[in-house]
């Protein structure tokens, strides 16, 4: 089954529709001006012609020739004038659609040309013939928002009629003399009559199209900026509030490479179970790509995580990553969208931190005594494999009072200096070890400052730094028990 085309096709259609609508609005106004001006000249000419004829009769100077000329004038001049008067009245009272006006304008100019040819063929005084059509055609081109092809339509009909007239009415083509054939050969040059009007239409249409295109994209850019502000507000509302106080505090800093991005943070506080305080779970996800497409993916993943924790509030990191991987594999991977993910669960009662890292950069646990433990990846990237091939590899480490868990996305380690060198994981690790004592909640701001000092220019990728820290109750010592270090604890 074929799918409909969206994006650029829809955008092009919208541009075409709005340009056509503007053309029709402009055409109605210009058509009224065009027909009114030409009709006014026609009425003036008819009045002058009739008064001149009547004056000649009154002075008894009328001849058979002058009487004939008067009737020729009445035969062509009055219909020519009525053509524009009727066209003007029709446009005023009927208010036709744009397409009707286009066809009507072409028909009016075509009939004008045919009447000019008729005036020439019956030898009406002051008849301009094809030259008269050329003048009208140029005036129409100056008034009406025609395309070059629309300007050529009336010209083609009139020029063909002129050929027929020259070969049949003015001369009998089957009885041409040499001089008459030479005269008829001049028909090859008659299309030049339509060149000025067509050229004017081409230039005006090109200029108007370019101007409208600029206005259209400026308008759409303004709309997009306003929509992006709203999208950013909605996107950032998905992030949890900073959590201070209590047994576990959480702080973070986020800097998208563009207005919105594909890094994401989800926090879940499990309800109490069996008289024990509920655990705190944190999910960090980095979607491939940047900007709006990545942000749209984040919105979908937020909904999926909300559903997972609503149905299974005590789910462990491994189980959560399995479910997220299944969702990404089934719905996003087909569009070449993947994600790295890190899920941790902290239990203050058991002083443990369970985690699963699906292709995510190594997180760190910085102990209160300054030692540092890497939490390496335990699974492949989310969406790269189906449920049967995905192994979460959940692990558990000790997490004592005063310890800090630090997670980040690759916008941190891929920050580039002016030389092109990346900060990388070793550079970040060195910054953490050299930092000394950092107050609770201060790690995200400290590490971001380090990245900005190292980085040349703005961010090339989304940046997210998260800190989870266990508070130190007054009844507990401010350091780990002597000789106690971070160690992996078997799961289960």
C-beta of residue 355 within 8 angstroms of C-beta of residue 319: no
461 within domain boundaries: yes
208 lies in the same domain as 172: yes
279 within domain boundaries: yes
154 lies in the same domain as 286: no
C-beta of residue 115 within 8 angstroms of C-beta of residue 73: no
402 within domain boundaries: yes
190 lies in the same domain as 308: no
190 lies in the same domain as 334: no
> What pLDDT is recorded for position 67?
56
Q: At 456, is the secondary structure helix, strand, or coil?
A: coil
160 lies in the same domain as 274: no
203 lies in the same domain as 271: no
C-beta of residue 353 within 8 angstroms of C-beta of residue 345: yes
C-alpha distances in Å from residue 342, one per residue of 50, 136, 265, 380, 451 = 95, 75, 10, 11, 21
> What pLDDT is recorded for position 180?
54
Q: Angle of helix 424-434 relative to helix 443-454, nearest 10 degrees? A: 130
pLDDT-derived band at 491 (thresholds 50, 70, 90) equals very low
Q: Angle of helix 148-164 relative to helix 130-143, nearest 10 degrees? A: 170
Among the ranges 114-118, 136-140, 185-189, which has the highest mean pLDDT value?
136-140
- For residue range 383-420, what is the model confidence (pLDDT) as tens digits? 999 999 999 999 999 999 999 999 999 999 999 998 98
Contacts of 48 (CB under 8 A, 6+ apart): none
pLDDT-derived band at 5 (thresholds 50, 70, 90) equals very low
pLDDT-derived band at 3 (thresholds 50, 70, 90) equals very low
**Higher per-residue pLDDT: 238 or 381:** 381
> What pLDDT is recorded for position 286?
94
Last residue of a domain, one of 183, 218, 253: 218
456 within domain boundaries: yes
Element (H, E) at 373: strand 372-375
429 within domain boundaries: yes
Residue 297: domain span: 243-489
3 within domain boundaries: no
334 lies in the same domain as 411: yes
C-alpha distances in Å from residue 184, one per residue of 116, 156, 166 = 19, 18, 7
263 lies in the same domain as 191: no
401 lies in the same domain as 484: yes
CATH number assigned to the domain comprising residue 443? 3.60.40.10
Contacts of 411 (CB under 8 A, 6+ apart): 255, 257, 263, 459, 460, 461, 462, 463, 464
Last residue of a domain, one of 184, 218, 252: 218
Average pLDDT, whole number, for the chain? Answer: 83
pLDDT-derived band at 192 (thresholds 50, 70, 90) equals confident
- Alpha-carbon radius of gyration of the chain: 41
How many domains does one find in the chain? 2
**Higher per-residue pLDDT: 104 or 3:** 104
C-beta of residue 385 within 8 angstroms of C-beta of residue 346: no
267 lies in the same domain as 214: no
Element (H, E) at 389: none
480 lies in the same domain as 346: yes
**Nearest to residue 445, comparing CAs of 420, 487, 408?**
408
- For residue range 68-106, what is the model confidence (pLDDT) as tens digits? 556 666 667 788 888 888 999 998 888 888 788 889 999
Is pLDDT of 61 > 70? Answer: no
**Higher per-residue pLDDT: 51 or 284:** 284
213 lies in the same domain as 282: no
> What pLDDT is recorded for position 242?
86
31 within domain boundaries: yes
**Higher per-residue pLDDT: 273 or 207:** 207
Average pLDDT on 444-469 reads 92
Last residue of a domain, one of 218, 253, 284: 218
C-beta of residue 77 within 8 angstroms of C-beta of residue 118: no
- The CA dihedral of 430, 434, 438, 441, to the nearest 10 degrees, is -10
**Higher per-residue pLDDT: 246 or 470:** 470
- List the Cα angle 377/379/380 in 5-degree steps: 105
2 within domain boundaries: no
pTM assigned to the model? 0.65
């Amino acid at each position: 089954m074929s799918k409909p085309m969206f994006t650029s096709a829809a955008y092009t259609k919208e541009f075409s529709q709005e340009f056509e609508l503007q053309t029709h609005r402009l055409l109605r106004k210009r058509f009224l001006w065009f027909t009114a001006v030409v009709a006014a000249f026609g009425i003036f000419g008819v009045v002058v012609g009739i008064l001149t004829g009547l004056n000649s009769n009154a002075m008894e100077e009328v001849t058979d020739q002058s009487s004939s000329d008067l009737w020729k004038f009445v035969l062509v001049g009055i219909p020519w004038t009525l053509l524009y008067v009727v066209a003007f009245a029709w446009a005023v009272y009927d208010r036709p659609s744009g397409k009707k006006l286009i066809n009507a304008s072409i028909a009016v100019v075509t009939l004008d040309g045919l009447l000019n040819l008729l005036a020439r063929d019956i030898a009406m005084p002051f008849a301009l013939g094809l030259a008269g059509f050329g003048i009208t055609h140029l005036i129409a081109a100056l008034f009406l928002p025609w395309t070059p092809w629309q300007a050529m339509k009336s010209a083609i009909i009139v020029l063909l009629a002129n050929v027929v007239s020259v070969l049949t009415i003015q001369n009998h083509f089957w009885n041409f003399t040499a001089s008459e054939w030479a005269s008829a050969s001049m028909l090859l040059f008659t299309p030049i009559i339509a060149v000025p009007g067509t050229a004017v239409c081409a230039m005006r249409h090109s200029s108007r199209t370019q101007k409208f295109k600029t206005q259209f994209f400026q308008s759409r850019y303004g709309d997009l900026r306003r929509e992006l502000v709203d999208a950013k507000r909605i996107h950032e509302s998905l992030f949890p509030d900073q959590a201070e106080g209590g047994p576990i505090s959480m702080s973070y800093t986020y800097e998208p490479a563009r207005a919105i991005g594909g890094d994401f943070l989800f926090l879940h506080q499990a309800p109490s179970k069996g008289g024990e305080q509920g655990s705190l779970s944190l999910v960090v996800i980095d979607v491939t790509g940047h900007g709006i497409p990545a942000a749209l993916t984040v919105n979908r993943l937020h909904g999926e995580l909300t559903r997972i924790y609503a149905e299974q509030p005590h789910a462990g990191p491994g189980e959560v990553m399995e479910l997220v991987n299944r969702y990404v594999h089934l719905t996003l991977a087909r569009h070449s969208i993947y994600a790295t993910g890190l899920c941790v669960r902290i239990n203050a009662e058991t002083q443990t931190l369970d985690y699963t890292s699906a292709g995510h950069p190594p997180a760190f646990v910085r102990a209160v005594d300054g030692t540092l433990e890497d939490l390496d990846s335990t699974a492949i990237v989310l969406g790269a494999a189906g449920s049967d091939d995905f192994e979460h590899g959940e692990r558990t480490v000790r997490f004592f009072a005063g310890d800090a868990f630090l997670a980040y996305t690759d916008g941190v380690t891929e920050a580039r200096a002016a030389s092109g060198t990346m900060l990388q994981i070793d550079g970040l690790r060195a910054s953490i070890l050299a930092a000394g004592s950092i107050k609770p909640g201060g790690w995200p701001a400290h590490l971001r400052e380090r990245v900005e000092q190292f980085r040349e220019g703005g961010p090339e990728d989304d940046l997210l730094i998260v800190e989870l820290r266990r508070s130190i109750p007054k009844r507990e010592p401010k350091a780990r028990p002597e000789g106690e270090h971070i160690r992996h604890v078997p799961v289960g």
